[in-house]
Amino acid sequence: MKKIGIIFGMETTFPPALVEKINSMREPGIQAELATIGEVRMAEPSPYAVIVDRISHDIPFYRAYLKNAALSGTIVINNPFWWSADDKFFNFALGHKLGVAIPPTVLIPHKEHPPGTTERSMRNLQYPMPWDSIFSYVGFPAFLKPFDGGGWRDVYKVNSPEEFFNAYDQSRDLCMTLQRGVKFKEYFRCYVVGQENVHIMHYDPAAPSHERYVKNPPPVDPKLLERVERDCLTLCRALGYDLNTVEFACEDGIPYAIDFMNPAPDADVNSVGQENFDWIVNQVAELAVRKAKQHTGEVPEYRWSAFLRGAVPKSQAAAKNAVAPKAEKAPEPAAESSKPGTMLDAASKQLRKRASKG
Ligand SMILES: Nc1ncnc2c1ncn2[C@@H]1O[C@H](COP(=O)(O)OP(=O)(O)OP(=O)(O)O)[C@@H](O)[C@H]1O
Ligand SMILES: [Mg+2]
């Protein structure tokens, strides 16, 4: 029996729906469950052939467990090694090199010294920074945002140097990026699964959070959608993520990729809506089953330098199953009343069982 395990945090809808979907496929010898993790001995294999990871970015214990499991051949969606190494500024640089439109972006040093360091730790840094040059490259309006973040935390829109310095003063010890603001007409958030399948969702960042995924979007130039799909695949194949969302802000018909390190993307039915939810559940279920069938117990190829060259043929990229994207903020716990009872019941039964085991 090959087991597929799901590791998750506060979310309540996607993990049980995924388990239910995989098990309803009745693939001989393949079974899915919400994963249980107890004692973790070094180099000991995990019972799971495949693990879908939704939360290790917030729980280092799980990240370390997943790396240890990978050592014995468990296929992890997404690659815990690459996810640990990746950051959004690197992503922008890579996207730019690959010919995807990226707004001019600069890396900005921590305003305050990281814990345990002093100015003596940062003596390599030019002082003052060449702010005029930075502002003329990026332009205004601009977005000051963490080089590795999510959930709109510490994201500031700034219209002038004064507003920039004011926001920068609030950014504590975070490493930040400053990126040109896109005056967008269309905005898309795209699920990309298995480095093959793209689902483009119209998104309105200005709407209240439960209405951001636009239900009846206005028609869009098919050429723009074609380019969005192509750019999604270019980026996710280069990064090797098997599950990711790529966000585009489009100005004058050009889709600018502004956020594509979301290896545990929001997949809560209450925010993405039923149609998008069904798509992502089905796609990830099929991907996990495909990976389980490919599982041999051999340690997968976890290097990524070939991906980064951006010229890896599809088949080769697919074979290198190890790489994965980053998760977005943990979706809010779903309202019980609006959830399909069976899924919640299954999840809470598993959780209770786990709790009673101590
Ligand atoms: N360069 C930009 N041009 C225009 N708008 C931007 C830009 N960068 C960020 N934004 C706005 O700020 C929002 C949050 O930015 P971003 O997606 O980079 O942060 P995040 O913390 O990853 O958010 P989330 O987790 O919701 O994806 C975007 O949805 C968009 O509305
Ligand atoms: Mg985003």
Q: Is the pLDDT of residue 45 over 70?
A: yes
Per the domain annotation, does 113 fall within a domain?
Answer: yes
Sorted by sequence, the CB contacts under 8 Å of residue 103 that are 6+ apart come out as 179, 180, 181, 182, 256, 258
Ligand with the closest atom to the CA of 181: 1
Residues of the domain holding 109 = 104-180
Per the domain annotation, does 220 fall within a domain?
Answer: no
Q: Which residues approach ligand 1 with their CB closer than 6 A?
A: 103, 143, 145, 149-153, 155, 179, 181-182, 205, 247, 249, 258-259, 328-329
pLDDT level of residue 337 (50, 70, 90 thresholds): very low
Predicted pLDDT at 83: 94
Strands 48-53 and 75-77: parallel
Instruction: Note the pLDDT tens digit of each residue in 271-291.
Output: 999 999 999 999 999 999 999
Q: Give the 3-state DSSP-derived string for 126-153, with helices as H, strands as E and coil as C.
A: CCCCCHHHHHHHHCCCEEEEECCCCCCC
For ligand 1, mutation pick of 259, 329, 332 (most atoms within 8 Å of CB): 259
Strands 105-108 and 176-180: antiparallel
Q: Is the pLDDT of residue 97 over 70?
A: yes
283 vs 194: CA distance, rounded Å = 8
Per the domain annotation, does 22 fall within a domain?
Answer: no
End-to-end CA distance of the chain: 26
Per the domain annotation, does 145 fall within a domain?
Answer: yes
183 vs 180: CA distance, rounded Å = 9
Which atom of ligand 1 sits closest to the CA of residue 181? 3
85 by Cβ neighbours in 10 Å (0-12 / 13-18 / 19+) ranks as exposed
Per the domain annotation, does 127 fall within a domain?
Answer: yes
Q: What are the distances in angstroms from CA 313 to CA 11, 238, 254?
A: 35, 11, 26
Per the domain annotation, does 160 fall within a domain?
Answer: yes
Per the domain annotation, does 139 fall within a domain?
Answer: yes
Which atom of ligand 1 sits closest to the CA of residue 205? 31
Q: How many helices (H) and strands (E) does the chain have?
A: 12, 12
Instruction: Note the pLDDT tens digit of each residue in 244-259.
Output: 999 999 999 999 999 9
pLDDT level of residue 332 (50, 70, 90 thresholds): very low
The pTM for the full model equals 0.86
Contact status, residue 188 vs residue 200, Cβ threshold 8 Å: yes
CATH of residue 174's domain is 3.30.1490.20
Output the average pLDDT for the chain: 87
Per the domain annotation, does 261 fall within a domain?
Answer: no
| Number of compact structural domains in the chain | 1
Instruction: Note the pLDDT tens digit of each residue in 299-321.
Output: 877 666 666 665 444 444 444 43
